[in-house]
Structure 1
């Protein structure tokens, strides 16, 4: 199997879908814990409790100051300070290999995110697929966000300290705008 480039960009696999692949330090149970355990997940994405069962609720709190010292752009300032709460539903789960959940989106359209884990020796291939995105503008924004969050996750799993997020996000959002086009 050809393993993904750790800096690889997300790929549009359909007009409303973006997919990322990252090879991360394992074992699979460790990566699973960073997807599902609040204290570990908040180090790269969002804290909050999840009912780890099909139909369960996930109450995520996106507070980027938990994992980056960088100031947020004005548009996202609340995500650094008090945080941004969001409610998700677990669509499907197969520990420690797959977690699928709803994702609040633009235009009141709920999208879906699927995390899949595949052991690759001492490493783990994480595949993140975000589908049912409302439009190209949302796809561009989501792609920049996932790419930057996955960079932080890789840094955390490799033992790094505070991470760049907002500066990386802004650069990536511009690159995805070029790759995917806007709304």
Structure 2
């Protein structure tokens, strides 16, 4: 994958994230110097949709369900409104069961087209990821409109995801696969609605650990024992480094593989930015591990918010399928 140039590192969010009637709304407004009927054809005809978004099983039809294959994943839903050549509204359900309502409006403006995009969802999960994703998709649409092939070699999504998180003070949801000193690792970063002391306690105190991760203990000293009794497996390890309230590293030995876990906590406007990096042994499946950590970190946020943690086998299986595509070759 190519690295970003100096100009590309300046990528900034073009979308707006708003709260409307308790929902989260992502909004983009793009002025394009092409006739609105031409932009509508890119939006509405499945052969054109394939050039910038994904493979649609058929042209949009009012009341009809659809399936769309894109970027290794899949979305499905129903066409709620279809008013050629002005507007299209659809439900959008991803492979994890997250559902939103998406609307496109194609309006004549200043001799060209004002393209309006709105995505409305009940919660903030995957909002930073979705915002970055839709901005790159709109960039691809603009490239196709200009008669060019979208550039997929440069990673614009990662810096945009971070920019949306910082600008709107929203937590990432997805984990990512990275390389650390030549070794594969998985990384999660979550912005938690709790002070650093409380998050530290959740990582180290047996009663709180049991509420989101599983029964266990962490001896807070170099060489101290680490033990967790997780569903279907026991994890053991040794503490490698402790900086109270900020940093905790320990080895991780489980039936599914070995590795090293690194926790880092940073205060941020009354909340805590938690970073988890799990370095993997060769035998460990990154996809399976990411699904497990995603659910455990969701549980941590729920527990810190005073909610009751409820695990879902369906959710776990969906996450496992989702993250399997990130398994290194």
Larger relative contact order (Cα-Cα within 8 Å, sequence gap ≥ 6)? 1
2:254 corresponds to 1:89: no
Correspondences of 1:55-66 after superposition (within 5 Å): 55-63=223-231
- Alignment of 1:39 with 2:186, yes or no, is no
Asked if 1:103 is matched to 2:252, the reply is: yes
Distance in 2 separating the partners of 1:7 and 1:168: 18
Aligned counterpart for 1:117 among listed residues 265, 279, 285:
265
Distance (Å, rounded) in 2 between the aligned partners of 1:117 and 1:32: 8
Structure-2 separation of matches of 1:61 and 1:105? 10
**Bigger Cα Rg:** 2
User: Which residue of the partner structure matches residue 288 of structure 2?
Assistant: 141
Tell me: CA distance 1:165–1:120, structure 2 relative to 1, closer, same or farther (3 Å).
farther
Contact 1:152 1:165 in 2 (8 A): no
Q: Which runs of 5+ in 2 are unaligned?
A: 1-162
Q: Do the aligned partners of residues 155 and 128 (structure 1) sit closer, same or farther apart at CA in structure 2, a change above 3 Å counting?
A: same
Q: Which has the higher helix share?
A: 1
Instruction: Work out which of the residue numbers 18, 21, 26 in structure 1 matches 2:186.
Output: 18
**Bigger strand share:** 2
Normalising by structure 1, we get a TM-score of 0.79
Structure 2 equivalent of residue 172 of structure 1? 319
Unaligned runs of at least 5 residues, structure 1: 64-78
TM-score, normalisation: structure 2: 0.45
Question: Could you tell me whether the CA contact under 8 Å between 2:184 and 2:280 is conserved in 1?
Answer: yes
SS in 2 for 1:42: helix
Q: What residue number does 1:130 align with?
A: 278
Q: Quick check: 1:50–1:56 contact (8 Å CA) kept in 2?
A: yes
Q: CA, structure 1 residues 112+165, in 2 after alignment: closer, same or farther (shift >3 Å)?
A: farther
SS in structure 2 of the partner of residue 32 of structure 1:
helix
Contact 2:172 2:189 in 1 (8 A): no
Report if aligned partners of 1:106, 1:138 keep a CA contact under 8 Å in 2: no
Deviation at 1:5, TM superposition (A): 4.7
Q: Cα RMSD between the aligned structures?
A: 2.2
Once the two structures are TM-superposed, the CA of residue 90 in structure 1 deviates from its matched residue by: 0.5
Shift of 1:87: 1.6
CA distance in 2, matches of 1:56, 1:23: 28
4-13 vs 47-56, which moves further: 4-13
How many aligned residue pairs are there? Answer: 161
